[in-house]
Amino acid sequence: MRTLSKSKLIAWRQCPKRLWLEVHQPELRADSSSTAASFAAGHEVGDVARRIYDPQDLGTTLDPGEIGIGGVLARTQELLAQRRPIFEAGFSVKEGERGALSLADVLLPEPDGSWHMVEVKSSTQVKDYHVEDAAIQFHIATRAGLRVSRVSVAHIDSKWVYPGGADRRGLLKEVDVSGRVGTLQAEVPRWIASAHDVVDGDEPAQRMGGHCGAPFDCGFRGHCEQQLVAAEGTVEFPVHWLPGIRSEALKEHIAQNGVRSMEDVPDALLSERQLRVKRQMLEGQVFFDREGAASALAAHPLPALFLDFETIGFAVPRWAGTRPYQQIPFQFSLHRLDAAGALTHSGFLDLTGTDPSHALARALVDACEAPGPIFAYNKGFERGRIAELAERFAELRLPLLRIANRLVDLLPVAKEHYYHPEQQGSWSIKRVLPAMVPDLRYDDLAGVRDGGEAQQAYIEAIASQTSATRRNQLRDQLSRYCELDTFAMVRIWQQFHPDTNEP
């Protein structure tokens, strides 16, 4: 008998082809670093949830890795009689030769002999697929004989501030979804049957679309892209290179007509920026309004500073005074271009594993004493981090806010006045830099080449088991990466000012 787990059923809800591949060709799955980080966050939140829901440590956590699925199912039935909290309790049902299996995150005994089922999520709100997840869980458990009085989803409360110590009781916010779960019960058996039909058949023909990244990034995207190329050939100007596809009319046209190339999108459906991208891509020409860019920056002459942060956001806060997923700066890079065009650099990087916030804030205030505008690329991010530091550290509040008020954004200038076909529809600094300044490329860096890799490097560097040699290697990689971010801004700024001397 084939049994489909709850995770497999949720995969089917996202895309039937994803389910088929997970069952028949799981070796083709290649999860992104962000997916791996999400899994890690989920495990960490699950561990905290057990301490929150079982503060006296009276309950039991079941691990299929240790005792197998059969062991989990059998042990669950034994534990139910003890009327204590159970974590990862297992239940299964079958319809003929078709079965379904689920592991409940949290089961809490109620005074009337029933159970309170809680599904724990590392997101900051209840989403539709969380309710579907809980509905499947409820269906399987109740069909297996469990009496469930209510069902909740516990998600992270992003407003909660960690007070320090071991007290994380405020991390989770519980939402009763019993009513919504109840309305889906007639659907769940059909979901299970349909999912089995997919698994029992041939690989589904499924066109790629928005579902490839929602509600989860699909690890089989690369496989499907290869199939698409094999069947229809490569596309020189993919439609997804059009920036900001938010118009419902445009999305509908792409979906209904199976559009793969921007050549096949009517101009009337495109915004001005999208039209520019399409035109420059098809013509193979660079758009550069150098005078317009210089004019946009004329109010911010030299001397000037160029600032970039690297941050980390833990689902479960590690440092007192911080919130879940709050982006805490652990590093900054600062280049200074003086009135004569001379360039100097300073920076900050804390790999001690303690809260870097205060030391970074103090170093930032000292480093920004020099006059002039402070350029950032997407300044809203830097402004937000500085405002949070100002809120946390009263003695630095005024100088930090003055720094925030000096920020000038290079991103909108680039978007309005520059586009190179090599950008592929993106104005990310990692796209603009090699297009505008070919001698500089992030690909040439070793180890850390983007923000996600910087976060992973930081987590590894502060881990207690990391050797001093490895930590120094990571320090060097992080320093080189963040320094390139601000040097890139300097070089882009200089392209907007052709009369300046390049370093």
Residue 368 lies in a domain: yes
Domain C-terminal end among 199, 219, 244? 199
* 321-333: average pLDDT: 97
pTM of the predicted model over 0.75: yes
* 403-432: average pLDDT: 97
Which CB contacts under 8 angstroms, 24+ apart, belong to 385-388? 385/309, 385/311, 385/327, 385/329, 388/326
Question: 425 and 315 in one domain?
Answer: yes
Per-residue pLDDT reduced to its tens digit, 413-422: 999 999 999 9
Beta bridge partners of 87: 61, 106
pLDDT above 60 for 503? no
Per-residue pLDDT reduced to its tens digit, 6-40: 999 999 999 999 999 999 999 999 998 888 889 99
Which segments within 402-462 are labelled E, that is strand? 407-409, 418-419
DSSP letter assigned to residue 210? G
Question: 185 and 307 in one domain?
Answer: no
Domain C-terminal end among 199, 231, 253? 199
Neighbours of 356 (CB within 10 A): 23
Q: What is the pLDDT of residue 500?
A: 61
Q: Using an 8 Å Cβ cutoff, are 306 and 483 in contact?
A: no
Q: How many structural domains does the chain have?
A: 2
pLDDT confidence tier of residue 229, bands split at 50, 70 and 90:
confident
Question: 491 and 350 in one domain?
Answer: yes
Burial class (CB in 10 A: 0-12, 13-18, 19+), 413: buried
150 Cβ neighbours under 8 A, 6+ residues apart? 116, 117, 176, 178
Residue 253 lies in a domain: no
Dihedrals phi, psi of 4, to nearest 5 degrees: -100, 130
Say how far apart CA 343 and CA 328 lie, in whole Å: 28
Residue 447 lies in a domain: yes
Q: Which two tokens stand for residue 95?
A: 């319809």
pLDDT confidence tier of residue 207, bands split at 50, 70 and 90:
confident
Mean pLDDT of the chain: 95
pLDDT above 60 for 502? no
pLDDT above 80 for 158? yes
Question: 321 and 180 in one domain?
Answer: no
Domain C-terminal end among 182, 199, 216? 199
Residue 302 lies in a domain: yes
Q: What is the pLDDT of residue 14?
A: 97
Q: What is the pLDDT of residue 399?
A: 98
Residue 23 lies in a domain: yes
* 349-357: average pLDDT: 98
Could you tell me how far CA 110 lies from the centroid of its own chain? 36
Question: 309 and 440 in one domain?
Answer: yes
pLDDT above 70 for 501? no
Distances (CA, A) of 55 to 58, 59, 170, 474: 8, 9, 13, 38
Question: 300 and 188 in one domain?
Answer: no
Question: 193 and 306 in one domain?
Answer: no
Question: 19 and 156 in one domain?
Answer: yes
Q: Using an 8 Å Cβ cutoff, are 149 and 110 in contact?
A: yes
Q: What CATH number is associated with residue 45?
A: 3.90.320
Residue 278 lies in a domain: no
Q: Using an 8 Å Cβ cutoff, are 12 and 191 in contact?
A: yes
Question: 303 and 194 in one domain?
Answer: no
Residue 169 belongs to what domain range? 2-199
136 Cβ neighbours under 8 A, 6+ residues apart? 6, 9, 10, 100, 102, 188, 191
